[in-house]
Amino acid sequence: MERILVVEDNKDMQFVLRNLLEHEGHRVIVAGDGERGLKEIRKDPPHLVLLDIKLPDMDGMRVLEEIRKINGNVNIIMLTAYGDIRDAVQAMKSGAYDYITKPFDNDELILTIRKALQIRHLTFEVEQLRKQLGEKSADDIVAELGGESPKIRQVIEYVNVVGPTNMSVIIHGESGTGKELIANLIHKKSKRFDKPFIAVDCGAIPDALVESELFGYERGAFTGADRQKEGKFEYAHEGTLFLDEITNLTESAQAKFLRVIQEKRLQHLGGKKDIRVDVRIIVASNISIQDAVRKGRFREDLFYRLNEFKIIVPPLRERKEDIPLLAKIFLDEARKEFGKVTKGFTPKAMGSLLAYHWPGNVRELKNTVRRSVLLTNAKDISTIHFPLDTSEIPQISEVDMKAGKVGHSLRDLVRDAADGIEKDMIIKTLDKVGGNKSKAARFLKINRVTFYAKLRKYGVM
CA pair distance 146, 178, nearest whole angstrom: 10
In the chain, the domains with their CATH numbers are 3-121 (3.40.50.2300), 136-314 (3.40.50.300), 318-457 (1.10.8.60)
Sequence-ordered list of residues with C-beta below 8 angstroms from that of 376, at least 6 positions apart, any chain: 340, 342, 382, 385
pLDDT at 431 over 80: no
Q: What is the pLDDT of residue 36?
A: 92
Max Cα–Cα distance, the chain, nearest Å: 91
pTM: 0.58
Rg of the chain's alpha carbons, rounded to an integer?
29
pLDDT at 58 over 80: yes
Helix 138-145 and helix 150-162, axial crossing angle in degrees, nearest 10: 150
161, 203, 181, 149: which is closest to 171 by C-alpha?
181
CA pair distance 110, 138, nearest whole angstrom: 41
Quickly count: other Cβ atoms within 10 Å of residue 238's Cβ: 12
> Which residues share a beta bridge with 244?
201
Which of 5-9, 64-68, 174-178 shows the highest mean pLDDT?
5-9
pLDDT at 131 over 60: no
- pLDDT interval class at 51 (50, 70, 90): very high
pLDDT digits (tens, 9 = 90+) for 332-352: 989 988 898 888 998 888 888
- pLDDT interval class at 399 (50, 70, 90): very low
Q: What is the pLDDT of residue 400?
A: 43
User: Cα dist. 431→117, 355, 426, 436, 440 in Å?
Assistant: 64, 17, 9, 9, 9
From start to end of 204-279, where are the E strands? 240-244, 265-266, 275-276
With beta carbons less than 8 A apart as the criterion, state whether 34 and 60 touch: yes
- pLDDT interval class at 290 (50, 70, 90): very high
The bridge status of strand 275-276 relative to strand 265-266 is antiparallel
328, 283, 329, 323: which is closest to 306 by C-alpha?
283
pLDDT digits (tens, 9 = 90+) for 135-154: 555 566 666 676 667 888 89
User: Cα dist. 159→180, 332, 387 in Å?
Assistant: 13, 26, 34
How high does pLDDT run on average in the chain? 83
CA pair distance 216, 200, nearest whole angstrom: 14
293, 220, 291, 216: which is closest to 256 by C-alpha?
216
pLDDT at 14 over 60: yes
CA pair distance 20, 409, nearest whole angstrom: 72
pLDDT at 392 over 60: no
pLDDT digits (tens, 9 = 90+) for 207-247: 888 899 999 998 888 887 777 888 999 999 999 999 999 99
Distance, first Cα to last Cα, the chain = 67
Per 3-state DSSP, the chain is made up of helix, strand and coil in percentages (nearest 5) of 50, 15, 35
CA pair distance 431, 417, nearest whole angstrom: 21
User: Which amino acid type is present at position 179?
Assistant: K
- pLDDT interval class at 403 (50, 70, 90): very low
Average pLDDT over residues 172-184: 91
Per DSSP, helices labelled H in 2-146 are 11-23, 34-43, 60-70, 85-93, 106-133, 138-145
With beta carbons less than 8 A apart as the criterion, state whether 427 and 461 touch: no
Q: What is the pLDDT of residue 127?
A: 56
pLDDT at 133 over 60: no
With beta carbons less than 8 A apart as the criterion, state whether 329 and 285 touch: no
CA pair distance 48, 73, nearest whole angstrom: 9
- pLDDT interval class at 437 (50, 70, 90): confident
- pLDDT interval class at 125 (50, 70, 90): low
Average pLDDT over residues 267-277: 90
- pLDDT interval class at 267 (50, 70, 90): very high
From start to end of 219-316, where are the E strands? 240-244, 265-266, 275-276, 280-285, 309-312
The CA angle 205-211-212, to the nearest 5 degrees, is 90
Q: What is the pLDDT of residue 148?
A: 67
Q: What is the pLDDT of residue 223?
A: 81
Average pLDDT over residues 132-137: 52
CA pair distance 452, 461, nearest whole angstrom: 8
- pLDDT interval class at 170 (50, 70, 90): very high
203, 270, 191, 282: which is closest to 231 by C-alpha?
270
